[in-house]
Amino acid sequence: MARLFKREGERKSLWQRIKDVAFMDATVAMKGLDQGSLERLEELLLANDFGVKATLRLTDVVEDLSRKGRIRTEREFLETVEREILGILRAGGEDTALRFAAPGAGPTVFLMVGVNGVGKTTTTGKLAYRLRKQGRRVLLAAGDTFRAGAIEQLRLWADRAGVDFVGAQPGADPAAVAFDAIDAARSRAVDVVLIDTAGRLHTQSDLMAELAKVERVVAKKIEGAPHETLLVLDATVGQNATAQARTFSQALKLSGLVLAKLDSTAKGGIVVALREEFGIPVKLIGTGEGIDALEPFDAREFAREVLTD
């Protein structure tokens, strides 16, 4: 991965800030971390969007190991926090790979969901480009029929990515759009259909009902589909992302998260918070507005960079 997080001038990394407080006192090496240091660690993790659950888990482990005399040096401290973060990110296994239909059982269908403005359409365009570069034939389906502009925006991404496109009339039923897109994919020998969706309707329950209907129609048409239902979240909104994940996971079977706009925040803890809270893996991260600014999520690299970047 490239540099993940935003640089803010002379900003100190999270780790520099943690160790500033924790190692002010040379007695740490003798007695372990004092209560003040642990509280400061807790504050810093919370301020970096790790969320209450993951923060308490991390500080509990640090406190415990410190008391047992197993955190005596800065290196041991850093390794402990990094290892525990990785443990949270990998709970349930290393499941960050995208799932595709078995040969002959396609096309693969990915449903892209999330509230307005998080980066859904952009992510859909970038993902189309990425999959096409891997040699797959891709089709984008305009399932956000709520705003006329959204259909046009997706068409532009299809052109940019050099992939197929199935549009819709504004106000059309997104489930019907998905249905038609899968038929089109079959007749054009397309491998992967990416369905963009609306992020806002008249009410939130309308939106959830509409998305659930798309999911149902797709599942009826292809066994095992949608192969991925990816919730796109905006990394800059911090704990709001948790509320969004909760709402969407109640209506849909989410298979993965995409954290867009990581390049626009200096905080990455939300990735850890989401995993601890929902057990849904982050599969992709958005690192810019350009067509190639989408990367697979690498837990090990992330665990290191969230502290030291």
Residues forming the site for Mg ion (CB under 5 A): 120-121, 150
- In the list 20, 159, 183, 289, the residue contacting ligand GDP (rule: CB under 6 A) is 289
Q: Which stretch, 42-50, 56-64, 185-193, 286-294, contacts ligand GDP (CB under 6 A)?
A: 286-294
- In the list 52, 76, 264, 295, the residue contacting ligand GDP (rule: CB under 6 A) is 264
Residues 104 to 123: which contact ligand GDP by CB under 6 A? Answer: 114, 116-122
- In the list 54, 89, 254, 260, the residue contacting ligand GDP (rule: CB under 6 A) is 260
- Write phi, then psi, for 196 (nearest 5 degrees): -80, 150
| Closest residue to Mg ion using C-beta atoms | 121
- Interface size with ligand GDP, residues (CB under 6 A): 18
The listed partner (ligand GDP, Mg ion, none) that binds 169, CB under 5 to 8 Å by sort, is none
Q: Residues 200-238, buried b or exposed e (16+ Cβ, 10 A)?
A: eeeeeeebbebbeebbebbeeebeebbbbbbbbbbbbbb
Shortest approach of ligand GDP to residue 148 CB, angstroms? 14
In the complex with Mg ion, which residue's Cβ is closer, 5 or 146?
A: 146
In the complex with ligand GDP, which residue's Cβ is closer, 48 or 123?
A: 123
How many angstroms separate the CA atoms of 116 and 211, rounded?
14
In the complex with Mg ion, which residue's Cβ is closer, 106 or 143?
A: 143
Q: Does 257 bind ligand GDP (CB under 6 A)?
A: no
| Closest residue to ligand GDP using C-beta atoms | 286
Distances 137 to 8, 123, 140, 156 between C-alpha atoms, Å? 40, 17, 10, 17
Shortest approach of ligand GDP to residue 286 CB, angstroms? 3
In the complex with ligand GDP, which residue's Cβ is closer, 106 or 174?
A: 174
How many angstroms separate the CA atoms of 302 and 86, rounded?
8
Residue of 54, 108, 56, 60 whose CA lies nearest to 86: 54
Q: Does 286 bind ligand GDP (CB under 6 A)?
A: yes
Residues 179 to 218: which contact ligand GDP by CB under 6 A? Answer: 199
Contact 55, 274 (CB under 8 A): no
Tokens of 271: 């990735």
In the complex with ligand GDP, which residue's Cβ is closer, 66 or 229?
A: 229
Q: Which stretch, 24-32, 131-139, 219-227, 282-290, contacts ligand GDP (CB under 6 A)?
A: 282-290
In the complex with Mg ion, which residue's Cβ is closer, 150 or 254?
A: 150
The listed partner (ligand GDP, Mg ion, none) that binds 293, CB under 5 to 8 Å by sort, is ligand GDP
In the complex with ligand GDP, which residue's Cβ is closer, 5 or 77?
A: 5
Instruction: Return residues touching ligand GDP (CB under 6 A).
Output: 114, 116-122, 199, 260-261, 263-264, 286-289, 293
